[in-house]
């Protein structure tokens, strides 16, 4: 393993000097967030620490198998902590309602891999090289020499696998495969994790996917693919917002498409956008940044106020400009 940065030593030392912890993650947690939060929670508990694990939102159905003991809970008021650790959250705002309940703390640590991270904590370990936060937690546990038990191996493998698109995204590095291999050797159940995450979907998601395939649009020489998810679409299909995770990849996979966009209605005047690029010449993190969001060069998002039509026009125009500059 390569020499580790001093920041990891600093985090390990800081953790050693504290006893009560709260591990927090971003709203609408994905597989990387869930795996990172829970993996770190279990590791700290194994070291004899008292740990709370909070998220504003519930775990999506397909990741609930990772939390059989229901450790991830909504925030509770009035608690004090020695240390709060945020995982996979690019900004303090991404913690949502959790943010107001973690003010009574001695130390705040931010562990993340997003290019757009705002360095909002006392100690910030932000490594854009790693394609997942799960890989950062894996490195932390290795440096700290804490046991990677089978449950932790399951969690960190799921985190790494989901944020690399099952090791398909261009951000996947040789070190990523090494980490995944070691996790499997330590007991991660590859077949079970992949079956739960990639091969088991509720019927509601299939209905939502049918909607996407029948309603998506292509524009700008078929290089931009986009679709809308309105509240009525979720109602009609019986789906919830967690069922929409990964739908954008089906449009991104259409051969001429360079950038795919999801527009999701949150409120009549608030639209959530997700962006995916399949060329390093178009950085969607920069596009999302124009609307107050961020993420990675190949995957980013934002929330936009205004009418749905206004949001669509502004975002599509920004994507057009980015593609034209990439020629």
- Give domain status of residue 1, yes or no: no
E strands present in 88-215: 105-112, 123-126
Sorting pLDDT into bands at 50, 70 and 90, what band is 1?
Answer: very low
Same domain as 132, residue 118 = yes
Whether 155 has a pLDDT exceeding 70, the answer reads yes
Mean pLDDT of 41-57: 98
Q: Which of 149, 173, 198 is the last residue of a domain?
A: 198
Whether 327 has a pLDDT exceeding 80, the answer reads no
What mean pLDDT value characterizes the chain? 95
Same domain as 300, residue 251 = yes
Q: How far apart (Å, rounded) are the C-alpha atoms in residues 19 and 22?
A: 10
Residue indicated by tokens 């159940």: 189
> What was the pLDDT predicted at 3?
44
The answer to whether the CB of 82 falls within 8 A of the CB of 18 is: yes
Q: Which of 198, 227, 256 is the last residue of a domain?
A: 198
> What was the pLDDT predicted at 2?
47
pLDDT in tens, 240-286: 888 898 899 999 999 999 999 999 999 999 999 999 999 999 999 99
Same domain as 12, residue 61 = yes
Share of the chain above pLDDT 90, in %: 90
Q: Which of 198, 219, 238 is the last residue of a domain?
A: 198
Sorting pLDDT into bands at 50, 70 and 90, what band is 4?
Answer: low
Give the domain CATH number at 237: 3.10.310.30
- CA-wise closest residue to 320 among 205, 177, 210, 221: 221
Same domain as 54, residue 137 = yes
Same domain as 103, residue 23 = yes
Same domain as 209, residue 136 = no
In total, how many domains does the chain have?
A: 2
Same domain as 265, residue 177 = no
In which domain, by residue range, is 228 found? 204-325
Give the domain CATH number at 67: 3.90.1640.10
List the structure tokens of 58.
């519930």
The answer to whether the CB of 53 falls within 8 A of the CB of 72 is: yes
């Amino acid at each position: 393993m390569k020499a580790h940065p001093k920041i990891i030593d600093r985090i390990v030392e800081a953790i050693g000097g504290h006893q009560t912890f709260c591990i927090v993650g971003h709203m609408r947690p994905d597989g990387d967030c869930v795996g990172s939060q829970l993996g770190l929670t279990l590791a700290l508990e194994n070291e004899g620490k008292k740990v709370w694990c909070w998220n504003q939102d519930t775990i999506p159905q397909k990741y609930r198998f990772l939390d059989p003991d229901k450790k991830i809970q909504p925030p509770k008021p009035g608690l004090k902590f020695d240390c709060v650790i945020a995982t996979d959250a690019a900004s303090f705002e991404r913690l949502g309602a959790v943010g107001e309940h973690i003010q009574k703390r001695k130390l705040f640590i931010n562990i993340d891999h997003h290019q757009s991270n705002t360095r909002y904590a006392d100690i910030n370990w932000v490594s854009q090289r790693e394609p997942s936060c799960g890989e950062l937690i894996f490195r932390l546990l290795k440096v700290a020499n804490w046991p990677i038990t089978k449950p932790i191996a399951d969690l960190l493998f799921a985190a790494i696998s989901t944020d690399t698109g099952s090791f398909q995204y261009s951000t996947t590095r040789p070190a990523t495969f090494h980490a995944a291999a070691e996790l499997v050797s330590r007991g991660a159940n590859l077949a079970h994790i992949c079956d739960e995450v990639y091969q088991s979907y509720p019927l509601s998601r299939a209905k939502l996917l049918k909607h996407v395939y029948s309603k998506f649009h292509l524009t700008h020489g078929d290089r931009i693919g986009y679709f809308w998810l309105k509240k009525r679409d979720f109602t009609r299909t019986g789906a919830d917002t967690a069922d929409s995770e990964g739908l954008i990849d089906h449009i991104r996979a259409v051969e001429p498409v360079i950038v795919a966009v999801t527009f999701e209605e949150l409120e009549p005047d608030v639209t959530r956008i997700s962006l995916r690029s399949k060329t390093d010449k178009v950085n969607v993190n920069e596009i999302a940044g124009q609307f107050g969001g961020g993420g990675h060069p190949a995957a980013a998002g934002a929330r936009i106020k205004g009418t749905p039509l206004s949001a669509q026009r502004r975002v599509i125009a920004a994507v057009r400009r980015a593609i034209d500059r990439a020629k």
